[in-house]
Structure 1
Amino acid sequence: MFEFFASLHWGAVAQIVVIDILLGGDNAVVIALACRNLPAQQRVRGVLWGTAGAILLRVVLIAFAVLLLDVPLLKFAGGVLLLWIGVRLMAPAEDAHENVKPADKLWEAVKTIVIADAVMSLDNVIAIAGAAEQADPGHRIALVIFGLLVSIPIIVWGSTLVLKLLDRFPIFITFGAALLGWIAGGLMVNDPAGDRWPLLDTPAAIYGASVAGALFVVIAGYVLKKRRTASSATHSR
């Protein structure tokens, strides 16, 4: 056990926890919406069983994602998707929870949570798989599971506190979006399809791509957010 913790890439663990907290707010809202019509004595069980099912499914999805990232051009595609996810984090779209119906039976609520979480977790899956790339190949799945086990309780029981913190200090969202851009840049430049160009495998190229990804997400997200704010102000007149 001690050897496992000693061999962990703690930087990647920290990134996984931050990513899951920032991108897990929607999932916490889904859990609350799905369980709100359950009898009081069943709500805790609904949250626990739904969360357990969602974690299990997410681990399976991430395991597949980690393996598939070795296929040429998939890292590049994942990086492009992560750039979009980072921009979306800075400039969120309209409310996406309208279709989540509250359930009045325990297993209906659990099913709703698991299905909704699977649909909404593509961003988490790609981002966490990208963060796990930094670790030794033999430790990646264990790293993902450990990161999820650390962050899920924070999401489920601390989501209100986290949301208040993000509302009060929006700079954390910018840092989180920049982190996603940083991971995206590293993923794209490390794609196996680029192995024919040794220059891409240098620390300068990897660092430069990571910085470029972070800057792109922050600038594009800021511009998109300003446009949406201006558009909303125009429509409200």
Structure 2
Amino acid sequence: MDYTSASFWIAVLQIVWIDILLSGDNAVVIAMACRSLPERQRRLGILLGAGTAVALRIAFALVVSTLLGVPFLRILGGVLLLWIAVKLVAGEDDAAHDLGQSHTLWKAVRTIAIADAVMSLDNVVAIAAASKGHPELFVLGLLLSIPLIVAGASLITSLIQRFPAVVWAGAALLGWIAGEMIVTDPFLADRVAGFGAVAHHAAAAAGAVLVVAVGYVLMRLQGAAAPAGTAP
């Protein structure tokens, strides 16, 4: 490929822009999963989460063409992501904070890995499309995602510490992504094609609303159960 051509640098700019947009999704998951960790472990959790996200992108890149053609895969992934979003917004029980620090850290990393496994598919597809079949551009996109995910997760973590409402916004974002993933599954895509962009946006909005609503109900239930659990 001609590295001096305009098409090459346009492709590079496209990949950078895609990384900025899509790495934010992973950063949200990492930040939310690590928000309850001690400061030292929070930094380690962010680094491990970012590494997990990038490793999963590479793994998906090897089989992305096959995965995209499997019906119901996106539906299952979207449902799993909805569950992860609700779990994150509802928070952990107080008992979880009494566990050893290493256990808490690896629990956060496990949560990040599950969510990243769901979202990395879309990220890889977008980068692969912008790469236009050039492996060097695809590798560049994966490498750029590392600092973007780390920086994004650190920034969002700081915002969560100052503004707890960011947690709800992050959960709604994950619900939106889950709705988009479900409606673009090969099994559903043809069936809703006649509705155009309306079906796409409606599914995404439904996912966001569902996560916030279920998360709110669970938090209310946890709050109501707490006094009963502490009663003698």
- TM-score in same-fold range (> 0.5): yes
User: Kindly tell me: are residues 145 and 99 of structure 1, through their superposed partners in 2, closer, same or farther at Cα, counting changes over 3 Å?
Assistant: farther
> Which residue in the other structure is 2:79 paired with?
80
Q: Does structure 2 retain, via aligned residues, the 8 Å contact 1:82–1:181? A: yes
Q: Does structure 2 retain, via aligned residues, the 8 Å contact 1:30–1:97? A: no
Q: Does structure 1 retain, via aligned residues, the 8 Å contact 2:78–2:182? A: yes
Q: Report the CA distance between 1:54 and its aligned residue.
A: 4.3
The CA RMSD over aligned residues, in Å, is 4.0
> Which residue in the other structure is 2:209 paired with?
215
Q: Does structure 2 retain, via aligned residues, the 8 Å contact 1:189–1:206? A: yes
Q: Deviations over 1:32-80 (max 9, x none)?
A: 44999xxxxxxxxxx98x6886465333344367542431100011111
> Which residue in the other structure is 1:205 paired with?
199
> Which residue in the other structure is 2:19 paired with?
13
User: Kindly tell me: are residues 163 and 123 of structure 1, through their superposed partners in 2, closer, same or farther at Cα, counting changes over 3 Å?
Assistant: same
Aligned residues: 211
Matched, 1:124 2:140: no
User: Kindly tell me: are residues 54 and 81 of structure 1, through their superposed partners in 2, closer, same or farther at Cα, counting changes over 3 Å?
Assistant: closer
Q: Report the CA distance between 1:19 and its aligned residue.
A: 2.3
Distance 1:200 1:6 in 2: 33
User: Kindly tell me: are residues 32 and 172 of structure 1, through their superposed partners in 2, closer, same or farther at Cα, counting changes over 3 Å?
Assistant: same
Matched, 1:184 2:178: yes
Question: TM-score, length-normalised on structure 2?
Answer: 0.69
Question: TM-score, length-normalised on structure 1?
Answer: 0.68
Q: Does structure 2 retain, via aligned residues, the 8 Å contact 1:16–1:128? A: no
Q: Report the CA distance between 1:84 and its aligned residue.
A: 0.9
Q: Deviations over 1:182-221 (max 9, x none)?
A: 1111111111112442546621111111111111111111
User: Kindly tell me: are residues 133 and 33 of structure 1, through their superposed partners in 2, closer, same or farther at Cα, counting changes over 3 Å?
Assistant: same
Q: Secondary structure at the match of 2:222?
A: helix
Q: Does structure 1 retain, via aligned residues, the 8 Å contact 2:85–2:211? A: yes
Structure 2 counterpart of 1:3, one-letter code: I
Stretches of structure 1 lacking an aligned partner (at least 5 in a row):
37-46, 103-111
Identity in percent: 25
Q: Does structure 1 retain, via aligned residues, the 8 Å contact 2:26–2:53? A: no
Q: Deviations over 1:113-164 (max 9, x none)?
A: 8x98467411123124345556663549655553333112454xx3xx6434
Matched, 1:89 2:96: no
Distance 1:27 1:7 in 2: 30
Q: Does structure 2 retain, via aligned residues, the 8 Å contact 1:181–1:210? A: yes
Distance 1:210 1:187 in 2: 8
Structure 1 counterpart of 2:129, one-letter code: P
Matched, 1:233 2:224: no
Distance 2:79 2:50 in 1: 30
Q: Does structure 1 retain, via aligned residues, the 8 Å contact 2:56–2:117? A: yes
Matched, 1:24 2:18: no
